Amino acid sequence: MNKPSTARSGAPLAEDLARARATVNEIIVDKGEVIDLAFSALLAGGHLLIEDLPGVGKTTLAQALSLAVGGDWQRIQFTSDMLPADILGVSMFRREGEQFEFRPGPIFANVVLADEINRATPRTQSALLEAMAEGQVTVDGRTHELPRPFFVIATQNPLDLTGTYPLPDSQLDRFLLRTRIGYPSAAEERRLLTEPDRRNLLKDMEPSLDPNRVMELIGLAGELHVSEPVLDYIQALVAATRSHPAVKAGLSPRAALALIQTARAHALVMQQDFCLPDNVRTVFPALAGHRLQPVAESGMDGDAVAAEILESTPVP
Amino acid sequence: MNRPATHLPLGPVAWTVATFLVAALPHLLAMPPVLGVVVFALCGWRLLVARKRWRLPPGWLRLLLTIAAIGLLAVSYGGLWGRRAATGMLCLMLAAKMMELSRLRDLRMVASVSLFLIASQFLFNERLVLLVYLFGGVLLALAALLRIQQLDVNRRTAPGGDVALLRQSALLLVSALPMALALWVTFPRLAEPLWGLPDEVMDGKTGLSDSMSPGSIANLFLDDSPAFRAEFAGEPPPPSQRYWRGPVLWRFDGDTWERAFLPSRTEAPRVPPGSNDYRYTVQLEPHERRWLFALDHPVRVPQDARLSLDFQLTRRNPITTLTEYSVRSNPDFTDMPRLPVTLRQLAVSLPEDRNPRTREMALELRERFEDDRALIDHVLDWLRTEPFYYSLETAPLGRHGADEFLFDLRTGYCEYYASAFAVMMRAADIPARVVTGYQGGFWQEGGQYLLVRNSDAHAWVEVWLEGSGWTRVDPTAAVSPARIRSGAGSVAGGGEGLEWLRALRNRYDRLQHLWNSWVLGFDADRQQRMMNFFGLPNLSRTGMALLMAGVLGLIVLALAWAWLRQPARSRDPVRRAWLRLARRMQRRGLGPGLGETPLAWAERVAHRLADGARFLELARDYCAIRYGDRGNEADRQRFIRAARRFPVRRAVEPRRAASV
């Protein structure tokens, strides 16, 4: 009997993915789940929001991810005086050619690290978010395609809120997953303190994948088998968010679709050739946490609601 | 007529035929053998058809054969009416159905009607063994229906072996028991039975007849079935006093003794105060006649019974079901201190041209003895000293019956003695009548009741004497005292080595007695008493029906509640097997969490199981089948078996003290 195991087709592709995952795991130790989530977001064709304190390794993660995936990467440090053009690029008039020439902004990269996105003004934020949603940039009436794959890892500091513009709930929906990194365990922290800086490893890192192969993997994830019981499970979870008393509005059908897609991607990351309820369960908090808006008096946040729903929904 | 598209396989056909035969067997045994042969032939032929894949006969042939079979039935029973003919008809029609057993629907029909057929045996007999038989038959019928269900493509059921079928059917039967019990207790009882047609119900079994000609009850002696049972309040009478009075016979035409239709008593006989009455309750088996049996002399009788002038106890209707009644009898009662002239005439009349030798001897004796008592004693002495023998094997009597018996044959049983003795008395001008009934009975120590069998049937004589009225004289006792002391069985001979069999039968009768008392005897009156016991008032029939509806409603509610509470049954047998395993693990405290996935659960508990690795393997297989849609039917069956056989044992916990 077949076991949940290696993908049916493109076995070398799956091996490359495994290698990429292993490489990132070497650099960011003890954060396997976050890394898997990041890969899942990438392979589901979505974007990732990391909400955590500075210094826990957000940037390193983004960098390692982009290096492992191959292709070019850009980092945009958001500030309050930033304009959309600083991200998207500008059309400049070239005197020689007597015409406007588009100079692409930092967003034209396969992996974009948008650091401290909440420091930018809403106008700038929305320019980024629109680009994320559309996969293209329109400047001065001309549309410029963004490279494929296009993966944004945005970070947000949840504590230092002075002088920031927190992302509105409606905009949070643009991120497929939201997660936290958290502190390393004591043992891992000791290794961090005693061993040479892991960021040096980044310099010698060989990319295991390239943009084309990532696109192939995204296609593979989209075709991954999801059986009836797993679909039942997904529907049950989504229905539970809609009837949960602490939630203003449950997950939308788009979110349900995203849940299936992310679960598939996660299954692919885990080297399975079909989707398990376990995949759904793993990605569900990251997917639903920022989409669920709890009523104020409930005293719960979206993550708590998501956890509660997972605990109380039987697996069919 | 549409030809069957597919051939019915042998398995379900065999189950159905077996069900039908088991249901029909009690009826077949009571039917003319030729009908039984027809039924068996049709069934056997149908099995052959299923085996050899022959074609079924055309419609016209089936019609012809069916009409012929019904004709045979009508001829055998002289019509199509009556219970026997009706059940025979049902058997025949079902057997005829074998000829067109071509679709699932037909199989279902035969199996379902067989259920009715099994129950219909209670129209004839309410014995305990039949209940056991009924359960067996119903078990078989349900299994057959389940087997037929397996053929139904629309409703796929898991294939199972024959044993699994029977187990499933037993489960169904057991789960129906509470409902049956509630119905039985609360169903409104009618004071009179719904049926009770006095036709040929006894299956050729003779009860005590209302006339007697010597030789007529011979076959009754060979019938060991119970006639009635009596429970006494207090001590039972000694064996020599156990004369159970039945029909009293006055008229004699030379061959046959018959009843005189005397008026009934309008008031209860007066009993001398301080007398030693016997109070007892009799459970009378159905015998299709009107009379009840009582010890001499019944003085307090049941409400719905009549007591005739000659102390015959009768009912208005024939006894067609088990009947219970209470009587008080006084052994010291004097019946008719004065004998009216008309009765005296009736009691001494004899046909003129019969039994000259007996009459001659009686006249001789009359001259020798002035006193009636002395004459009677002399005759009894004569019977005792002359070579008279008691035997059931004897010759029939001719025209001068008493002469032939008293002077030539001298071998016979109670009827011979009673008849000849009464003739002698009448010839000597002593009023005499013959009383038939039962004598003796078996005292069941364990059950504290007296069991009287049909083989205890007896006939004796009553003579009217000045001063003591009608007095019982038993000439048989003079010849064979053992017959009176220990019962007919002891003199009838045979069965010396069958003591254990008799003991077994007596023990079985105790069960039958309980069945009679608690199940068959649960009539309107007992039902009312039970309701009162539970604090319910006396209910009308409507009230009882409402109560029944209420109780049934409660049961249905309870069942519905239990059904709704149980987790929704999955249609996927693999999932059901997994959930069963989960319940077993739950019992060991290792069950899955509500929202826990199979793999997460397995990983959590594996180290606490003795066979943890195997459990993980099982969980992975389960995930592959259920979530990966992997594996063929064989894999699924293998998984189901593995899950069922998985031993849920906790791992031996490493002792903490040892590890420190």
* Residue B362 located in a structural domain: yes
* Residue B385 located in a structural domain: yes
CA B485 to chain centre: 29
- Selecting from A3, A229, A281 the residue whose C-beta is nearest the C-beta of B626 gives A229
Triad B369, B371, B374: Cα angle to 5°:
75
Residue keyed to tokens 């069950």: B591
Residues A175 and A242 in one domain: no
Residues in chain B: 660
Residue A102, chain B, CB below 8 Å: the answer is no
Q: What is the CATH number of the domain that holds A99?
A: 3.40.50.300
Residues A177 and A233 in one domain: no
End-to-end CA distance of chain B: 85
B323 φ, ψ to 5°? -125, 135
Residues B400 and B477 in one domain: yes
Give Cα separations from A279 to A33, A58, A167, A271 (angstroms).
11, 24, 28, 11
Residue B620, chain A, CB below 8 Å: the answer is yes
Question: A48-51 and A151-156: which strand pairing?
Answer: parallel
**Burial environment of residue B616 by CB neighbours within 10 A (0 to 12, 13 to 18, 19 or more):** middle
* Residue B545 located in a structural domain: no
Separation between Cα atoms, residue A270 and residue A283, nearest integer Å: 12
| Residue in A closest to B636 by C-alpha | A1
Residues A85 and A169 in one domain: yes
Separation between Cα atoms, residue B430 and residue B411, nearest integer Å: 25
* Residue B203 located in a structural domain: no
User: Which one, of A292, A187, A313, A177, lies nearest residue A245 by Cα?
Assistant: A292
Task: Kindly list the residues from chain B whose CB atom is less than 8 angstroms away from the CB atom of residue A313.
Answer: 594-595
A59–chain B nearest CA distance, Å: 32
* Residue A265 located in a structural domain: yes
| Residue in A closest to B628 by C-alpha | A274
The tokens of A264 are what? 């598939």
Q: What is the pLDDT of residue A267?
A: 92
Chain B interface mutation, best of A8, A266, A278, highest count of B Cβ atoms under 10 Å: A278
The tokens of A92 are what? 């400049």
Asked if B600 lies within 8 A of A311 by C-beta distance, the reply is no
Asked if A4 lies within 8 A of B628 by C-beta distance, the reply is yes
Residues B611 and B467 in one domain: no
Q: List per-block mean pLDDT (blocks of 10 residues) for chain B, which spans 660 residues.
A: 59 91 90 88 90 85 90 85 84 90 89 92 80 92 88 60 85 88 81 48 56 69 80 85 90 87 78 78 84 87 85 84 86 84 89 89 90 91 87 79 88 87 92 90 80 86 90 86 61 56 79 79 77 79 84 87 73 84 86 87 87 88 86 84 84 52
Mean pLDDT of A31-49: 89
Asked if A273 lies within 8 A of B628 by C-beta distance, the reply is yes
Q: What is the pLDDT of residue B21?
A: 94
Separation between Cα atoms, residue A228 and residue A220, nearest integer Å: 19
* Residue A3 located in a structural domain: no
Domain boundaries, position A286: 224-316
Domain stop point among A175, A193, A211: A193
| Residue in B closest to A308 by C-alpha | B595
How many Cβ atoms from other residues are within 10 Å of residue A274's Cβ?
23
* Residue A215 located in a structural domain: no
* Residue A92 located in a structural domain: yes
Domain count, chain B: 3
Separation between Cα atoms, residue B654 and residue B660, nearest integer Å: 11
Domain stop point among A193, A214, A238: A193
Separation between Cα atoms, residue B249 and residue B349, nearest integer Å: 13
Residues B151 and B291 in one domain: no
Residue A227, chain B, CB below 8 Å: the answer is yes
Residues B215 and B144 in one domain: no
Domain boundaries, position B225: 211-483+491-499
Domain count, chain A: 2
Dihedral sign for Cα atoms in the order A18, A22, A24, A30? positive
Residues A119 and A248 in one domain: no
| Residue in B closest to A309 by C-alpha | B595
- Selecting from A3, A4, A277 the residue whose C-beta is nearest the C-beta of B597 gives A277
Residues A16 and A106 in one domain: yes
Residues B297 and B445 in one domain: yes
Residue B619, chain A, CB below 8 Å: the answer is no
A247–chain B nearest CA distance, Å: 20
Residues A305 and A187 in one domain: no
Residues A168 and A251 in one domain: no
Dihedral sign for Cα atoms in the order B109, B112, B117, B120? negative
Asked if B630 lies within 8 A of A2 by C-beta distance, the reply is yes
Q: What is the pLDDT of residue A2?
A: 40
**Res A30 pLDDT > 70:** yes
A-B Cβ pairs (cutoff 8 Å, strict): 60
A115 φ, ψ to 5°? -80, 135
Residues A15 and A154 in one domain: yes
* Residue B96 located in a structural domain: yes
> pLDDT band at A280, cuts 50/70/90?
very high
B203 φ, ψ to 5°? 55, 45
* Residue B25 located in a structural domain: yes
Q: What is the pLDDT of residue B483?
A: 67
**Nearest 10 degrees: CA dihedral of B407, B409, B411, B416?**
-70
User: Which one, of A315, A244, A252, lies nearest residue A282 by Cα?
Assistant: A315
| Residue in A closest to B570 by C-alpha | A316
- Selecting from A3, A4, A311 the residue whose C-beta is nearest the C-beta of B595 gives A311
* Residue B540 located in a structural domain: no
Cβ-contact B35, B24 below 8 angstroms: no
Residues B149 and B15 in one domain: yes
B590–chain A nearest CA distance, Å: 16
Encode pLDDT of B451-475 as tens digits.
Answer: 888 888 888 999 999 888 899 999 8
Task: Print the SS3 string covering B330-356.
Answer: CCCCCCCCCCCHHHHHHHHCCCCCCCH
Residue A263, chain B, CB below 8 Å: the answer is no
Residues A162 and A296 in one domain: no
Q: What is the ipTM of this complex?
A: 0.83
Residues A55 and A100 in one domain: yes
Domain stop point among B499, B530, B560: B499
Domain stop point among B499, B524, B548: B499
Asked if A278 lies within 8 A of B626 by C-beta distance, the reply is no
Higher-scoring residue by pLDDT: B526, A37: A37
* Residue A268 located in a structural domain: yes
Active site residues of B: 414, 458, 474
Chain A interface mutation, best of B599, B627, B636, highest count of A Cβ atoms under 10 Å: B627
Encode pLDDT of A15-28 as tens digits.
Answer: 888 888 888 888 88
Between positions 561 and 600 of B, the ones with CB within 8 A of A are 575, 593-600
B298 φ, ψ to 5°? -65, 125
Q: What is the pLDDT of residue A8?
A: 41
Asked if B620 lies within 8 A of A4 by C-beta distance, the reply is yes
Q: What is the pTM of this model?
A: 0.51
A235–chain B nearest CA distance, Å: 14
Residues A307 and A178 in one domain: no
Q: What is the pLDDT of residue B387?
A: 87
Residue keyed to tokens 């059309």: A91
* Residue A283 located in a structural domain: yes
Residues B141 and B268 in one domain: no
Q: What is the pLDDT of residue B116?
A: 93
Residues A239 and A189 in one domain: no
Asked if A310 lies within 8 A of B595 by C-beta distance, the reply is yes
| Residue in A closest to B627 by C-alpha | A227
Residues in contact with B12: Cβ distance below 8 Å, sequence separation at least 6, in sequence order: B107, B144, B147, B148, B150, B151
Share in percent of chain B as helix, strand, coil (round to 5): 55, 15, 35
Give Cα separations from B61 to A129, B58, B64, B427 (angstroms).
86, 6, 5, 69
A88–chain B nearest CA distance, Å: 44
* Residue B289 located in a structural domain: yes
* Residue A209 located in a structural domain: no
* Residue A312 located in a structural domain: yes
Domain stop point among B118, B138, B155: B155
Asked if B631 lies within 8 A of A225 by C-beta distance, the reply is no
In chain B, the largest separation of any two C-alpha atoms, in whole Å, equals: 121
